[in-house]
Chains A and B, each alone.
Chain A
Amino acid sequence: NAGVTQTPKFQVLKTGQSMTLQCAQDMNHNSMYWYRQDPGMGLRLIYYSASEGTTDKGEVPNGYNVSRLNKREFSLRLESAAPSQTSVYFCASSEGMGFYEQYFGPGTRLTVT
């Protein structure tokens, strides 16, 4: 039981390049999330998917797109990376929204030069 997995673990991009961060969970959870973590800022929600087939914007969605590929997988795409997107990205999943515990992946450390 791997929980939440993320690929890649590390990535360096040049400004303007694109990439997709992959996330998968094996807990049969309905809800999935993408966060970014920056020093002194805590975690900020980028996008979430309350259930398969739905996605919604979070606090900081600009510059990102998401796809809920199926119940297991939720990807995050940067179409044209900018230095301001240098961050650590976490995927999480939960049985549902609200009071359910969120389970986090190990993170992807992204640097945009």
Chain B
Amino acid sequence: AQSVTQLGSHVSVSEGALVLLRCNYSSSVPPYLFWYVQYPNQGLQLLLKYTTGATLVKGINGFEAEFKKSETSFHLTKPSAHMSDAAEYFCAVSAYGGSQGNLIFGKGTKLSVKP
């Protein structure tokens, strides 16, 4: 069965600092991996996804993530944090096919950005 672990329910960084949000997954088949962002009082929107091919994936708003099969990780990074990045971030895994085709979400990491 698939699962996702996000390390750290809260992360605080200063504006301009590196953002690193950690995600580890468990999957019995080659995974499809996603990062979603949720701004206050809104639904989730896709930041980026990994399906196959290049392991470094670029997303919206300057975020990127690297799929590392040997470490079963898919950490999200951004070189320089902006105040507008303050939100909750969710990592998710999916395995295509039948009942395995749903998304399994991590518990989320709330990012705070200090001026």
Query: Does A40 lie at the interface of the complex (its beta carbon under 8 Å from any beta carbon of B)?
Result: yes
Among A13-21, A70-78, A79-87, A103-111, the stretch that binds chain B is A103-111
Chain A residues at the B interface, C-beta cutoff of 8 Å: 4, 33, 40-45, 48, 50, 56, 58, 90, 92, 97-99, 101-102, 104-107
Contact check, A99 vs B51: say whether CB atoms are below 8 A apart: yes
User: Quick one: closest A residue to B9, CB to CB?
Assistant: A40
Chain B residues at the A interface, C-beta cutoff of 8 Å: 9, 32, 34, 41-46, 49, 51, 90, 94-97, 99, 101-103, 105-108
Contact check, A104 vs B101: say whether CB atoms are below 8 A apart: no
In the bound assembly, the distance between CA atoms of A50 and B103 in angstroms comes to 12
Given contact pairs A42-B107, A98-B101, A104 touches B45 in the complex (Cβ within 8 A): yes
Q: Which residues of B contact A56 (CB under 8 A)?
A: 99
Contact check, B96 vs A97: say whether CB atoms are below 8 A apart: yes
